[in-house]
Structure 1
């Protein structure tokens, strides 16, 4: 292949491993990678170091670098998620990430209803109204809708005041961006999902924890029904 940079080597090798093209258990040598990518040993070492940090590779002396089993990877890493979304199993990755949201986001909404300050509650209502306006106008697949959607969900996770919930903001953002870039976000959003975004924001603003949790669960379940893979 054409001479590559560190970034392009990392992304190409990352996608190949994440997609299973380079299967778990495969053993690679620095010399093989250097020849394949036509780059210096330093560039290869840098890419391997990043993949080791994500637990995708492990180096062993006199053996080389071995591709780890996927369950050992840093599976919430935003870059790894992006690589998976660039591969043939993007649909399954979106489903898995939506299932993760279903496990976390309703509780985060309950906690935001309990802990958020007035400014955060007002901001969430504004974002919900923006999503409603764009969705009603058939712009659910627009960049503006995506930006507002990411901000909406990030705010719920942050204002939950649970730092573990807040730590998956990039994960959720990558999932939403992946749906958008793969054409899976409809111009006219599923009404049940959109209506429950608005309902969740109102219940959070009112401090109604039970209703906020229930409305959030309904909109994530609606999204899951949209992206479900047979």
Structure 2
């Protein structure tokens, strides 16, 4: 007897049946399904059958339905009556969702995803730096300077994850300081790119002093109101990051750690 397919999911009750059921299990199923779809293991047009997923992941239908509801909100799946829940073509995905970015970076299409994200950053972040030089508040300038100081300390200590947090704060703040809400909304996208580079060992084991110096140059130019210098320094940051990633990819995996 064939398994029933998932019908259209419409949730109006945000309550969950227990912390484990609603948090840990839901997040785990969501990540596993999202990763499989992003990698093409579950391809476009394939039907997600509720009972099969319940058996595969050992969870309740409630957990499966909630995970599918989130995937549907991202455009990865579509639910229709009498058809069920099917995987959507990539062109319908919300490619700016940080979770979609993470899943794609975790899959076989990592190089393509990194190229797309690098091109996006090259188009947006130098402009953000130039706008920030005109619009950043004193508080935002202080955050940029503090983030660079933290990057310097953590880089010297070789603490990559603490360095990552400071780096993410720097770029989020810079995008917000642009004063453009569309640019600022890309903060999560850039933060996920930075996290992905660290997670997949696509950066040096110790941050390059030159990269930190360039971040300081951006912060100084923004504080000084020098838009051309801020934009130029940000372009150099992106060029340096791209070169570091390319060098890491050419090294053997054990040399990246």
**TM tier relative to shorter chain:** 0.7 to 0.9
Which one of 98, 103, 116 corresponds to residue 83 of structure 1? 103
How many angstroms does 1:138 deviate by?
5.9
SS of the aligned residue for 1:5 comes to helix
Do the aligned partners of 2:203 and 2:245 also contact (CA within 8 Å) in 1? no
1:211 is matched with 229
CA distance in 2, matches of 1:47, 1:158: 31
Do the aligned partners of 1:98 and 1:223 also contact (CA within 8 Å) in 2? no
1:185 is matched with 203
Which one of 46, 52, 57 corresponds to residue 77 of structure 2? 57
Give the alignment of 1:54-203 within 5 angstroms: 54-135=74-155, 137=156, 139=158, 142-203=160-221
TM-score norm. by structure 2 comes to 0.79
Q: Which moves more between the two structures, 36-45 or 159-168? A: 36-45
2:254 is matched with none
How many angstroms does 1:14 deviate by?
0.9
2:240 is matched with 222
How many angstroms does 1:192 deviate by?
4.3
CA distance in 2, matches of 1:187, 1:86: 20
How many angstroms does 1:200 deviate by?
1.3
CA distance in 1, matches of 2:161, 2:208: 17
Cα displacement string for residues 101-129 of structure 1 (whole angstroms, at most 9, x for unaligned residues): 11111111111100112232233123223
TM-score norm. by structure 1 comes to 0.88
CA separation of 1:143 and 1:40: change in aligned 2, threshold 3 A: closer
How many angstroms does 1:204 deviate by?
0.9
Cα displacement string for residues 30-77 of structure 1 (whole angstroms, at most 9, x for unaligned residues): 233233333333222211111110000011222221111112101111
Q: 1:22 and 2:23 equivalent?
A: no
CA RMSD of aligned residues (A): 2.3
Q: Which has the higher contact order (CA 8 A, sep 6+)?
A: 1
Counting matched residue pairs gives 226
CA separation of 1:193 and 1:95: change in aligned 2, threshold 3 A: farther
CA separation of 1:16 and 1:168: change in aligned 2, threshold 3 A: same
CA distance in 1, matches of 2:101, 2:239: 21
1:11 is matched with 31
Do the aligned partners of 2:98 and 2:192 also contact (CA within 8 Å) in 1? yes
CA distance in 2, matches of 1:5, 1:80: 19
